[in-house]
Amino acid sequence: MKGSLYSVSDKAMFDAINQSKVTNSELKDIFLSRGIIVSHETKREKLARYFSLFPHSYQDYKRLADILGANTRREKNTSTTVNRIVDKDIIETVAAGLVSDLEHFGATCTIEESEMNSISIKVEYREFNYSNSEFKQISNKEAVISIEINEENLIIRHPQNKTVEEWKSLYISKLESELEEEVETTNINLSNTTDHEVVTRFFNELINGIDGYKLYDVTDVYVYHPEEKHLDEDEDEDEDENDFENLELGTHISKASLKGQNVLRSEECSCPR
Protein backbone atom coordinates (compact mmCIF):
# COMPACT_ATOMS: atom_id res chain seq x y z
CA MET A 1 0.00 0.00 0.00
CA LYS A 2 1.36 3.43 -0.95
CA GLY A 3 2.84 5.30 2.00
CA SER A 4 2.98 2.25 4.28
CA LEU A 5 6.13 1.14 6.06
CA TYR A 6 6.27 -2.24 7.77
CA SER A 7 4.65 -4.22 10.55
CA VAL A 8 5.49 -2.68 13.91
CA SER A 9 6.74 -4.66 16.89
CA ASP A 10 4.74 -5.50 20.01
CA LYS A 11 6.94 -3.11 22.00
CA ALA A 12 6.21 -0.27 19.58
CA MET A 13 2.47 -0.96 19.83
CA PHE A 14 2.71 -0.95 23.63
CA ASP A 15 4.61 2.36 23.67
CA ALA A 16 2.20 3.95 21.19
CA ILE A 17 -0.92 3.22 23.24
CA ASN A 18 0.78 4.68 26.31
CA GLN A 19 1.31 8.02 24.56
CA SER A 20 -0.69 11.00 25.85
CA LYS A 21 -1.86 11.83 22.32
CA VAL A 22 -4.05 8.70 22.39
CA THR A 23 -7.09 9.86 24.35
CA ASN A 24 -9.27 7.56 26.43
CA SER A 25 -12.06 7.85 23.88
CA GLU A 26 -9.73 6.82 21.06
CA LEU A 27 -8.38 3.99 23.18
CA LYS A 28 -11.90 2.67 23.75
CA ASP A 29 -12.59 2.81 20.00
CA ILE A 30 -9.41 0.84 19.30
CA PHE A 31 -10.52 -1.95 21.63
CA LEU A 32 -14.11 -1.76 20.39
CA SER A 33 -12.84 -2.47 16.86
CA ARG A 34 -11.78 -5.86 18.30
CA GLY A 35 -15.16 -6.37 19.98
CA ILE A 36 -13.80 -5.54 23.43
CA ILE A 37 -15.40 -3.09 25.87
CA VAL A 38 -12.96 -1.63 28.37
CA SER A 39 -13.57 0.04 31.71
CA HIS A 40 -12.16 3.45 32.54
CA GLU A 41 -10.95 1.94 35.81
CA THR A 42 -8.49 -0.32 33.98
CA LYS A 43 -5.01 1.13 33.98
CA ARG A 44 -3.73 2.25 30.60
CA GLU A 45 -0.49 0.30 30.96
CA LYS A 46 -2.46 -2.91 31.45
CA LEU A 47 -4.61 -2.16 28.38
CA ALA A 48 -1.52 -1.40 26.31
CA ARG A 49 0.17 -4.63 27.35
CA TYR A 50 -2.98 -6.63 26.55
CA PHE A 51 -3.53 -5.03 23.14
CA SER A 52 0.12 -5.45 22.15
CA LEU A 53 -0.33 -9.25 22.39
CA PHE A 54 -2.87 -9.26 19.52
CA PRO A 55 -1.98 -9.90 15.88
CA HIS A 56 -1.94 -6.44 14.28
CA SER A 57 -3.04 -5.37 10.82
CA TYR A 58 -2.18 -2.35 8.71
CA GLN A 59 -5.40 -0.69 9.88
CA ASP A 60 -4.21 -0.89 13.50
CA TYR A 61 -0.97 0.77 12.48
CA LYS A 62 -2.73 3.44 10.41
CA ARG A 63 -5.19 4.29 13.18
CA LEU A 64 -2.42 4.93 15.71
CA ALA A 65 -0.10 6.56 13.17
CA ASP A 66 -2.82 9.08 12.23
CA ILE A 67 -3.19 9.98 15.92
CA LEU A 68 0.50 10.13 16.81
CA GLY A 69 1.59 11.60 13.48
CA ALA A 70 -0.71 14.62 13.75
CA ASN A 71 1.34 17.79 14.03
CA THR A 72 -0.16 19.81 16.89
CA ARG A 73 2.78 22.15 17.42
CA ARG A 74 2.46 25.48 15.69
CA GLU A 75 5.57 26.28 13.69
CA LYS A 76 7.23 29.67 13.66
CA ASN A 77 6.85 31.81 10.56
CA THR A 78 9.57 33.52 8.59
CA SER A 79 9.57 35.86 5.62
CA THR A 80 11.64 36.67 2.56
CA THR A 81 11.45 39.94 0.65
CA VAL A 82 11.82 39.92 -3.14
CA ASN A 83 13.19 43.36 -4.02
CA ARG A 84 11.37 43.80 -7.30
CA ILE A 85 7.98 44.86 -8.61
CA VAL A 86 6.20 41.89 -10.20
CA ASP A 87 2.84 41.81 -11.97
CA LYS A 88 0.14 39.86 -10.22
CA ASP A 89 -0.48 37.72 -13.31
CA ILE A 90 3.13 36.51 -13.23
CA ILE A 91 2.90 35.78 -9.50
CA GLU A 92 -0.22 33.66 -10.02
CA THR A 93 1.33 31.84 -13.00
CA VAL A 94 4.43 30.94 -10.98
CA ALA A 95 2.25 29.86 -8.04
CA ALA A 96 0.28 27.54 -10.33
CA GLY A 97 3.56 26.03 -11.55
CA LEU A 98 4.72 25.44 -7.97
CA VAL A 99 1.41 23.79 -7.09
CA SER A 100 1.73 21.48 -10.08
CA ASP A 101 5.18 20.35 -8.92
CA LEU A 102 4.07 19.79 -5.33
CA GLU A 103 0.99 17.81 -6.34
CA HIS A 104 3.23 15.58 -8.44
CA PHE A 105 4.89 14.47 -5.17
CA GLY A 106 1.60 13.71 -3.41
CA ALA A 107 0.80 17.02 -1.71
CA THR A 108 -2.67 18.55 -1.79
CA CYS A 109 -2.62 22.23 -2.73
CA THR A 110 -5.08 25.09 -3.14
CA ILE A 111 -4.50 28.69 -4.20
CA GLU A 112 -6.56 31.37 -2.48
CA GLU A 113 -6.69 35.07 -3.25
CA SER A 114 -7.20 37.46 -0.35
CA GLU A 115 -8.61 40.96 -0.30
CA MET A 116 -5.28 42.46 0.81
CA ASN A 117 -3.68 42.12 -2.64
CA SER A 118 -1.99 38.84 -1.84
CA ILE A 119 -2.35 35.16 -2.62
CA SER A 120 -1.93 32.14 -0.37
CA ILE A 121 -0.84 28.64 -1.30
CA LYS A 122 -2.21 26.12 1.17
CA VAL A 123 -0.33 22.81 1.15
CA GLU A 124 -1.25 19.60 2.97
CA TYR A 125 1.65 17.17 2.87
CA ARG A 126 3.32 14.26 4.62
CA GLU A 127 6.79 14.48 6.09
CA PHE A 128 8.94 11.37 6.63
CA ASN A 129 11.52 10.97 9.38
CA TYR A 130 12.82 7.42 9.74
CA SER A 131 14.83 8.28 12.85
CA ASN A 132 11.57 8.54 14.84
CA SER A 133 9.61 5.64 16.31
CA GLU A 134 7.48 3.56 13.95
CA PHE A 135 4.28 5.49 14.60
CA LYS A 136 5.89 8.92 14.22
CA GLN A 137 7.83 8.36 11.03
CA ILE A 138 5.03 9.93 8.97
CA SER A 139 3.72 13.35 10.02
CA ASN A 140 0.69 14.94 8.42
CA LYS A 141 1.43 18.65 8.14
CA GLU A 142 -0.09 21.79 6.70
CA ALA A 143 1.68 24.91 5.46
CA VAL A 144 0.48 28.23 4.10
CA ILE A 145 2.80 30.17 1.79
CA SER A 146 1.56 33.75 1.63
CA ILE A 147 2.75 36.08 -1.14
CA GLU A 148 2.04 39.72 -0.33
CA ILE A 149 2.19 42.15 -3.25
CA ASN A 150 3.43 45.64 -2.35
CA GLU A 151 4.22 48.70 -4.43
CA GLU A 152 7.98 48.11 -4.32
CA ASN A 153 8.46 44.41 -3.54
CA LEU A 154 7.00 41.02 -2.69
CA ILE A 155 6.96 39.51 0.78
CA ILE A 156 6.80 35.72 0.99
CA ARG A 157 5.75 34.38 4.40
CA HIS A 158 5.84 30.70 5.31
CA PRO A 159 6.47 28.26 8.19
CA GLN A 160 10.09 28.02 9.19
CA ASN A 161 11.08 24.47 8.33
CA LYS A 162 13.42 22.87 5.84
CA THR A 163 10.73 21.45 3.55
CA VAL A 164 8.80 24.69 3.05
CA GLU A 165 12.08 26.60 2.75
CA GLU A 166 12.89 24.44 -0.28
CA TRP A 167 9.46 25.19 -1.76
CA LYS A 168 10.05 28.91 -1.29
CA SER A 169 13.41 28.63 -3.06
CA LEU A 170 11.71 26.70 -5.86
CA TYR A 171 9.08 29.45 -6.20
CA ILE A 172 11.78 32.14 -6.46
CA SER A 173 13.64 30.02 -9.02
CA LYS A 174 10.48 29.68 -11.12
CA LEU A 175 9.87 33.42 -10.75
CA GLU A 176 13.36 34.14 -12.10
CA SER A 177 12.72 31.82 -15.04
CA GLU A 178 9.43 33.58 -15.79
CA LEU A 179 11.07 37.03 -15.58
CA GLU A 180 14.20 35.80 -17.38
CA GLU A 181 16.42 37.52 -14.83
CA GLU A 182 17.72 37.03 -11.31
CA VAL A 183 15.91 38.72 -8.44
CA GLU A 184 17.44 40.13 -5.27
CA THR A 185 16.04 38.79 -2.01
CA THR A 186 16.36 39.90 1.61
CA ASN A 187 16.04 37.47 4.48
CA ILE A 188 16.80 38.17 8.16
CA ASN A 189 18.42 35.15 9.78
CA LEU A 190 20.12 35.13 13.19
CA SER A 191 20.83 31.40 13.33
CA ASN A 192 24.56 31.96 12.69
CA THR A 193 24.85 34.86 15.14
CA THR A 194 26.39 33.59 18.38
CA ASP A 195 27.18 36.95 20.02
CA HIS A 196 24.43 37.48 22.59
CA GLU A 197 25.11 41.23 22.69
CA VAL A 198 24.41 41.54 18.97
CA VAL A 199 21.21 39.51 19.25
CA THR A 200 20.01 41.57 22.22
CA ARG A 201 20.80 44.83 20.43
CA PHE A 202 18.89 43.68 17.35
CA PHE A 203 15.69 42.91 19.25
CA ASN A 204 16.05 45.98 21.46
CA GLU A 205 16.26 48.27 18.42
CA LEU A 206 13.47 46.36 16.70
CA ILE A 207 11.10 46.79 19.65
CA ASN A 208 11.96 50.44 20.18
CA GLY A 209 11.57 51.16 16.47
CA ILE A 210 7.84 50.36 16.37
CA ASP A 211 5.94 53.61 15.83
CA GLY A 212 2.75 54.38 17.70
CA TYR A 213 3.38 52.11 20.68
CA LYS A 214 4.55 52.84 24.20
CA LEU A 215 6.78 50.34 25.99
CA TYR A 216 6.12 49.22 29.55
CA ASP A 217 8.59 47.47 31.84
CA VAL A 218 6.83 44.26 32.92
CA THR A 219 8.31 43.06 36.22
CA ASP A 220 5.80 40.38 37.24
CA VAL A 221 4.25 37.59 35.16
CA TYR A 222 1.92 34.98 36.63
CA VAL A 223 0.21 32.12 34.80
CA TYR A 224 -1.91 29.29 36.15
CA HIS A 225 -3.87 26.26 35.01
CA PRO A 226 -7.57 26.77 35.86
CA GLU A 227 -9.29 24.08 37.88
CA GLU A 228 -11.90 21.92 36.20
CA LYS A 229 -15.50 22.98 36.78
CA HIS A 230 -17.77 20.62 38.68
CA LEU A 231 -19.73 18.41 36.31
CA ASP A 232 -23.25 17.09 36.52
CA GLU A 233 -23.95 13.50 37.50
CA ASP A 234 -24.50 12.60 33.85
CA GLU A 235 -20.93 13.69 33.13
CA ASP A 236 -19.31 11.77 35.98
CA GLU A 237 -17.87 9.25 33.55
CA ASP A 238 -16.11 11.97 31.53
CA GLU A 239 -14.76 13.45 34.77
CA ASP A 240 -13.37 10.07 35.80
CA GLU A 241 -11.76 9.71 32.38
CA ASN A 242 -10.06 13.10 32.68
CA ASP A 243 -8.78 12.26 36.16
CA PHE A 244 -7.61 8.89 34.90
CA GLU A 245 -5.78 10.47 32.00
CA ASN A 246 -4.02 13.04 34.20
CA LEU A 247 -2.88 10.32 36.59
CA GLU A 248 -1.70 7.91 33.95
CA LEU A 249 -0.08 10.24 31.45
CA GLY A 250 2.18 12.32 33.67
CA THR A 251 2.07 15.80 35.19
CA HIS A 252 1.54 19.33 34.00
CA ILE A 253 2.51 22.78 35.25
CA SER A 254 -0.30 24.15 37.41
CA LYS A 255 1.17 27.62 37.95
CA ALA A 256 4.32 29.63 37.36
CA SER A 257 5.55 33.13 38.07
CA LEU A 258 8.44 35.30 36.88
CA LYS A 259 9.81 38.40 38.54
CA GLY A 260 12.64 40.66 37.51
CA GLN A 261 13.74 44.05 36.31
CA ASN A 262 16.50 45.62 34.22
CA VAL A 263 16.96 42.37 32.32
CA LEU A 264 18.65 44.09 29.38
CA ARG A 265 21.16 45.58 31.80
CA SER A 266 22.19 42.21 33.23
CA GLU A 267 25.64 40.77 32.59
CA GLU A 268 24.28 38.16 30.16
CA CYS A 269 22.50 40.75 27.98
CA SER A 270 24.72 43.76 28.54
CA CYS A 271 25.02 45.83 25.42
CA PRO A 272 24.89 49.53 24.51
CA ARG A 273 21.32 50.82 24.30
Name the band, by pLDDT with cuts 50, 70 and 90, for residue 268.
low
| DSSP state at residue 70 | B
Q: What is the pLDDT of residues 62-98, one digit of tens each?
A: 888 888 876 667 788 899 999 999 998 999 999 999 9
**Claim: this prediction has a pTM higher than 0.95:** no
CB 181 within 8 A of CB 86: no
Residues constituting the chain: 273
Q: What is the pLDDT of residues 27-67, one digit of tens each?
A: 899 899 889 998 888 899 999 999 988 888 888 888 888 88
Mean pLDDT, range 193-220, rounded to an integer: 85
Terminal Cα distance for the chain, rounded: 60
Q: Is 93 left (phi over 0), alpha (psi -120 to 50) or beta?
A: alpha
DSSP-assigned states of every residue in 218-256: --EEEEE-PPPPPPPGGGHHHHHHHHHHHHHS-----EE
Instruction: Pick 77-186's CATH classification: 1.10.30, 3.40.50, 3.90.1690, 3.30.310.
Output: 3.30.310
Q: What share of the chain is helix, strand, coil (3-state, %, to 5)?
A: 40, 20, 40
**Confidence at residue 134, expressed as pLDDT on a 0 to 100 scale:** 75
